[in-house]
Structures are given as C-alpha cells and as structure tokens.
Amino acid sequence: MNEEIAKALERAHRVLIITHIDPDGDAIGSLLGLGLALEKMGKKVTMACENPVPRRFLYLPGSDRVVPYPMGSFEIVVALDASDLRRLGKAYSPELYGELPLINIDHHVTNPGFGTLNWVDPEAAATAQIVLELVEGMGAPLEPDVATCLLNGIVTDTRGFRTVNTTPQTLEAALKLQRAGANLVEVMENVFDRRPLGVLRLWAHILSQAQLEDRIIWAEKPRSLLEKFGLNDEGNYGLTNFMVGVEEADVAVIFSEKPGGEIDVSMRSVPGVDVSKVAAKLGGGGHPQAAGCRLKGTFQEVREKVLKELRKAL
C-alpha cells in the first residue's frame, strides 16, 4: 500500500482521473473502478480519456461518463495505466493542470515515474490490481459496480488469467472482486466472446496479408480498413495476441495507421523474448510480452526500423 497516495486522495475533493490513449480493458476498468469508488467517498470526480470507450467495455457502469477533454477546477490529477506522460494524450493539458500534483499509478516496467507521487508495480498483472489495493487502503466501499470494473481490468490484461504475470496475488484480487459482487462470466463474455462482424472481416483481411520472417509475424492496418469494415478505431480485439500463437513465430507485430502521420506499433512476444526493451528503445513502453510505440513515417519506414530492432533482440 502506498500511504502517501491514499492520504493525498482522501484529502482531495475534486479529482481528475485520466487513462491512456487507445484504451484497453485495464485502462477503462481502472478508470471507472477508481472513479466510482472515489465518488462513493463523496468526492467530485471527472474521468477522462482522449479516445472513446471501446464498445466491448460499454457494458461497464459509468462508461458513459468518460470525457475526452476535461474542464473544471481540480485539486489533484491521477494517471492510470499510462507508461509515460505522452500516453495521456490530449486529455492531460499541462497548461491547465501542470501545477497540480500528479499521481502516477501503473504497472509497466518501462514507466519512468513521471508523477509527483508514483505507485508503479511491474509485479502487478494489471493496474486494476493496484487500484483495488488503493481502494481498500482508503477504506472506500467495494461495491459490485466498482468490483466489476476492476475485474474487467484484471481479466483483460491477463487475457483471462493466461499471461505469465498471473500470480497468486492476481487470483486473490480476482477472488476478492468476485466475492464483492463482480460477475466473472459477464466480464469474460463481454470482453472475449462478443465482437462485431466487421472485426472478423478485419482479422481475415489482416491475417491473409501477414508476413513471417525470422520468427517475426507482422501485418499492416491502413486506416482505410476501418471504413471498409465499418469499424471505429478501437483496437484489434486481441489480434496481436492471436498472431503470437503462431508456432513459427516468437514475436507478432501489427502496424496501425493513426491520424497525424503516426503509426502505432503493437507487439507481443513469447516468454523469453522481451519486447518492452525494444519498445522503450523506440520511444514507447510496455511489458516484457506486450509492448508498443508510436513512430512517424510511412509503413515501410516504420516497419524497417522496428523489424531491425526486433531482429537484434531475438
């Protein structure tokens, strides 16, 4: 438990909580879980993320409350699941909020500790696992809606308790959340078993174009595919994870075109290969088996740069 962070939040009345761009289930689960818990303590809470909540997480309580550009007067800012300050995107305005204390709660091994106060625990399987400890430490009530959001974070970041960082502590946290009223089956179904048809069509397209060289399987996702398959830009629904399951590969990479001439690089690796170091070297971050970065350039330029670094790491 980080007492200093718990105390700082207990003292504050108006809290701004921000999670990272292109949010995943841990980002949204941690954001809503902490936000709702602080509200139950009587605080005024604003929850922010530059990009909309992906549709598979819209079932979560409070998902309609997330705003892209928070306005108002706050006493403290909390960053959740963000491996560096840039990952907060435009939801964090240094001009407006740079003077306020910034609490950094995260579990990425590459996190540089950019906050005024930092709680970075790379042993935690999910940021939601740390948030649970914080909520308990502050003596906030652990009600079913909070528990569901936090379980959503743990389940998604561990891919259903399958990643190497799933420890007894992770399972204990999940058990606690289930006992508090989170519906494990509902979480699993929403995050893993339901997806729009367009996502299947997108997968089929990407997989048919995937290339394998030097035990690296990679594919490109131009923005035109979003319109073609009627999709929003809300992630790949776990396709990079699926690709790293290919027996002939140790690393999987999806290059996704983003607005503003940037390419997002999503990487996965088998245990024993550390993609977080490669991501950090390229200005990004992540976990040993799941990491990423954003680079300017064309697909070809970015691909050559990334594959070169990955070959060195293999």
Binding positions for Mn ion, rule: CB under 5 A: 26, 81, 127, 157
Min dist. Cβ of residue 79 to Mn ion (A):
12
Strand 102-106 to strand 117-120: parallel, antiparallel, or no bridges (unpaired)? parallel
End-to-end Cα, the chain, rounded Å: 37
23 binds ligand 5GP (CB under 6 A): no
Indicate the residue type of 286: G
Packed helices 25-40 and 144-157: angle between N→C axes, nearest 10 degrees: 160
Nearest-angstrom CA–CA distance, 164 and 123: 11
Can you read off the two tokens belonging to residue 170?
A: 């992770």
Region of 54-62, 215-223, 243-251, 285-293 interacting with ligand 5GP (CB under 6 A): 285-293
Task: Give the nearer residue to ligand 5GP in terms of CB position, either 72 or 271.
Answer: 271
Of all residues in the shown chain, the one whose CB is closest to ligand 5GP is 292
**Contact between 91 and ligand 5GP per CB under 6 A:** no
- Residue 285 contact, options Mn ion, ligand 5GP, none, Cβ 5-8 Å cut-off depending on partner type: ligand 5GP
Name the token pair of 135: 């909520």
Check: CB of residue 284 under 8 Å from CB of residue 262. Answer: no
How far apart CA 145 and CA 286 sit, in angstroms, is 28
Binding at 133: pick from ligand 5GP, Mn ion, none (beta carbon under 5-8 Å per type): none
266 binds, among Mn ion, ligand 5GP, none (CB under 5 to 8 A by kind): ligand 5GP
Number of H helices, E strands in the chain: 12, 11
Residue 83 binds to ligand 5GP (criterion: CB under 6 A) = yes
CA distances from 25 to 6, 42, 60, 143, 165 (A): 23, 26, 10, 19, 16
List the interface residues with ligand 5GP, window 59-78 (CB under 6 A): none
Q: Which listed range, 72-80, 133-141, 186-194, 281-289, lies at the site for ligand 5GP (CB under 6 A)? A: 281-289
The answer to whether 163 contacts ligand 5GP (rule: CB under 6 A) is: no
Which listed range, 19-27, 29-37, 132-140, 197-205, lies at the site for ligand 5GP (CB under 6 A)? 19-27
Q: Which does 303 bind (CB under 5 to 8 A by kind): Mn ion, ligand 5GP, none?
A: none
Q: In sequence order, what DSSP letters do the residues of 87-116 get, joined into one string?
A: GGGGGS-HHHHTTS-EEEEE--TT----SS
Strand partners, 76: 15
Output 56 or 287, the one with its CB closest to ligand 5GP. 287
Residues that bind ligand 5GP (CB under 6 A): 20, 22, 24, 83, 87, 240, 264, 266, 284-287, 290-294
